[in-house]
Amino acid sequence: MSDRSAAVSRATAETEIDLTLAVDGDGDAAVDTGVGFFDHMLESFAKHGLFDLTVQCDGDTHIDDHHTVEDVAICLGEAFAEALGDKRGIRRYADRRVPLDEAVASVVVDVSGRPYYEFDGAFSQESVGEFTSVMADHFAMSLAHNADLTLHAGIERGDNAHHEVEALFKALARALDDATRIDDRRSDTPSTKGEL
């Protein structure tokens, strides 16, 4: 199997980011975004998806967390797209439901080459620490658009935004791990078109 990894950098007036991703990792993470709960979510994403992930982000968090979360998601999406290349041999589809205490989140993904995103549900509190809860939805959308994923995500139930957001990140990680795994029975790209 080829080395499915990528390094992405992004510099704007709002953020400066260096990110590395290894799809076939051990779940190791070194993350510093300036938003503590977001760091926790990215570390959880890496751990539960078995992705090796490093993120160094210097963002305008004195304004709020929006640009930091969005731009990290853009970089992560670009890294997935680059690391997966022609997607030869991947399983392509996956779905995961993940509970965290009273909360349940779900993710259905197609590594399709066609960006599409839908979200259903709501978060019980406006924020978790310095992390604005709705940015979890925006993170997933930005990731989907930049990794060329068809992604349906949702919060099925919950009454604690910490649990709801964390369940969503874990479901996203597990679904992406499943969908990007190599199927030993397949040597081609999983599409009747011959490409994704």
The packing angle between helices 161-180 and 36-49, to 10°, is 30
Asked, for residue 194, whether it belongs to a domain, the answer is no
Could you tell me the pLDDT band of residue 1, with boundaries at 50, 70 and 90?
low
Asked, for residue 190, whether it belongs to a domain, the answer is no
pLDDT computed for residue 167 by the predictor: 98
Digit-coded pLDDT (tens) for 82-139: 999 999 999 999 999 999 999 999 999 999 999 999 999 999 999 999 999 999 999 9
Q: How confident is the prediction for the chain on average, in pLDDT? A: 97
DSSP codes joined into one string, the chain = ----EEEEEEE-SSEEEEEEEESSS-S-EEEE-S-HHHHHHHHHHHHHHT-EEEEEEEE-TTT-SHHHHHHHHHHHHHHHHHHHTT-TTB--EEEEEEEETTEEEEEEEE--SS-EEEEE---SSSEETTEETTHHHHHHHHHHHHHT-EEEEEEEE-S-HHHHHHHHHHHHHHHHHHHHSB-TT--S-SSTTS--
What domain range is 42 assigned to?
5-180
Tokens 């070194």 correspond to: 30
pLDDT above 90 (res 29): yes
pLDDT above 90 (res 35): yes
Asked, for residue 195, whether it belongs to a domain, the answer is no
Asked, for residue 163, whether it belongs to a domain, the answer is yes
Digit-coded pLDDT (tens) for 146-162: 999 999 999 999 999 99
Q: Domain containing 30 — which CATH number?
A: 3.30.230.40
Quote the number of domains for the chain.
Answer: 1
